[in-house]
Amino acid sequence: MNLISIPAFQDNYIWVLVGDDKRCIVVDPGDAAPVLQAIEENGWQPEAILLTHHHHDHVGGVPALRAKFPHLVVYGPQETQDKGTTRVVEDGEKILILGYDFSVFATPGHTSGHISFFSFPYLFCGDTMFSGGCGRLFEGTPTQMYQSFQRINALPEDTLVCCAHEYTLANMKFALSILPDDPAIQDYYHKVNELRVKKQNTLPVILKNERKINLFLRTDDIDLINKINQETNLQQPEERFAWLRSKKDDF
Ligand SMILES: [Zn+2]
């Protein structure tokens, strides 16, 4: 399958997986217009939609896509049931789409019913993980989000993390403010900065690299622990995760 990103709104990406026969799967179509345009231009045949959570910038395009393609199967968590989902899925389910197995796992934190879809090497994690950062906690707790990050971190290192927003540069500015001398963070910040100057996409990212530069995945890192200990003393990794999230909220 080919992975394609369609930019939408200010900084959303709508991901599309396209098979050799041009049948495709659309992930979190917040807006129908750019998806319909890409379908038209490329001759794709949409078969399924995957929804990670109920926010409008992820589900807003579903009614128009279903009107145009009535056979579409829309997979989503319970919280998307009134957003056009035709098949509610939950943690632990395996679904077969276009001959590929997708695992569904719960990744609460950003919303309480947020789910992610994984079919190696593709992970569609919505607003849970961003490159260099993590989603805002609108409905869940820092501990829930920490656990969601642990589940993502347990995936194979070659997993391609398909995040739903282009937030990488802002996240790396934040990471540099916490660990200004970290070589991996410095290198990635410069690389991302160059890409963004040219208005290029920084996603998807490989989990192996994300483990080096995403502080929310480095809550057991000695440099981060030392940094936090200058201010306060936190024993548990989930407490350090919460400390980072609240720092980012104020950044
Ligand atoms: Zn959201």
Q: What is the pLDDT of residues 50-94, one digit of tens each?
A: 999 999 999 999 999 999 999 999 999 999 999 999 999 999 999
Q: How far apart are alpha carbons 167 and 183 in whole angstroms?
A: 20
DSSP state of 36: H
Indicate the pLDDT class of residue 209, thresholds 50, 70 and 90.
very high
CB neighbour list of residue 241: distance below 8 Å, 6 or more residues apart:
142, 143, 145, 146, 149, 216, 219
Count of beta carbons in the 10 Å neighbourhood of residue 141: 15
Packing angle of the helix pair 237-249, 142-153 (nearest 10 deg) = 110
Compute, in degrees rounded to 10, the torsion defined by CA atoms 190, 171, 7, 138: 180
Mean of the pLDDT values across residues 214-219?
98
Tell me how far the alpha carbon of residue 36 lies from the centroid of ligand 1, in angstroms: 22
What are the DSSP calls for 190-233, one per residue?
HHHHHHHHTT----SEEHHHHHHH-GGG-TT-HHHHHHHHTT--
Indicate the pLDDT class of residue 133, thresholds 50, 70 and 90.
very high
Residue ranges of the annotated binding site for Zn(2+) are 53, 55, 57-58, 110, 127, 165
Q: How far apart are alpha carbons 140 and 18 in whole angstroms?
A: 33
Structure tokens belonging to residue 196: 């963004």
Percent of the chain with pLDDT over 70: 100
Tell me how far the alpha carbon of residue 50 lies from the centroid of ligand 1, in angstroms: 14
Mean of the pLDDT values across residues 93-110?
97
Spatial strand order in the sheet of 23-27 = 2-8, 12-18, 23-27, 45-50, 73-76, 87-88
Tell me how far the alpha carbon of residue 228 lies from the centroid of ligand 1, in angstroms: 28
Taking a 5 Å cut-off on Cβ, the residues next to ion ligand 1 are 55, 127
Q: How far apart are alpha carbons 237 and 165 in whole angstroms?
A: 26
Percent of the chain with pLDDT over 90: 99
Cα 104 to the center of its chain, rounded Å: 14
What is the pLDDT, as a whole number, of residue 169? 97
Count of beta carbons in the 10 Å neighbourhood of residue 12: 20
Is pTM beyond 0.85? Reply is yes
Indicate the pLDDT class of residue 43, thresholds 50, 70 and 90.
very high
Q: What are phi and psi of 56, to 5 degrees?
A: -60, -35
Tell me how far the alpha carbon of residue 61 lies from the centroid of ligand 1, in angstroms: 14
* Coil, strand or helix at 46: strand
Tell me how far the alpha carbon of residue 110 lies from the centroid of ligand 1, in angstroms: 7
Packing angle of the helix pair 183-197, 168-178 (nearest 10 deg) = 150
CA-CA distances (angstroms) from residue 166 to 109, 156, 200? 19, 23, 10
Task: Please name which of 239, 235, 209, 55 lies closest in space to residue 145, comparing C-alpha atoms.
Answer: 239
How high does pLDDT run on average in the chain?
97
Of 77-81, 169-173, 219-223, 229-233, give the lowest mean pLDDT range.
Answer: 229-233
Tell me how far the alpha carbon of residue 53 lies from the centroid of ligand 1, in angstroms: 7
What is the pLDDT, as a whole number, of residue 41? 97
Tell me how far the alpha carbon of residue 196 lies from the centroid of ligand 1, in angstroms: 22
Tell me how far the alpha carbon of residue 227 lies from the centroid of ligand 1, in angstroms: 30
What is the pLDDT, as a whole number, of residue 228? 95
> From start to end of 35-136, where are the E strands?
45-50, 73-76, 87-88, 94-97, 100-106, 115-119, 122-124, 129-130, 133-134
What is the pLDDT, as a whole number, of residue 99? 92
Tell me how far the alpha carbon of residue 139 lies from the centroid of ligand 1, in angstroms: 10
Residue ranges of the annotated binding site are 53, 55, 57-58, 110, 127, 165
Task: Please name which of 8, 39, 5, 210 lies closest in space to residue 128, comparing C-alpha atoms.
Answer: 210
Tell me how far the alpha carbon of residue 111 lies from the centroid of ligand 1, in angstroms: 7
Tell me how far the alpha carbon of residue 232 lies from the centroid of ligand 1, in angstroms: 31
What is the pLDDT, as a whole number, of residue 71? 96
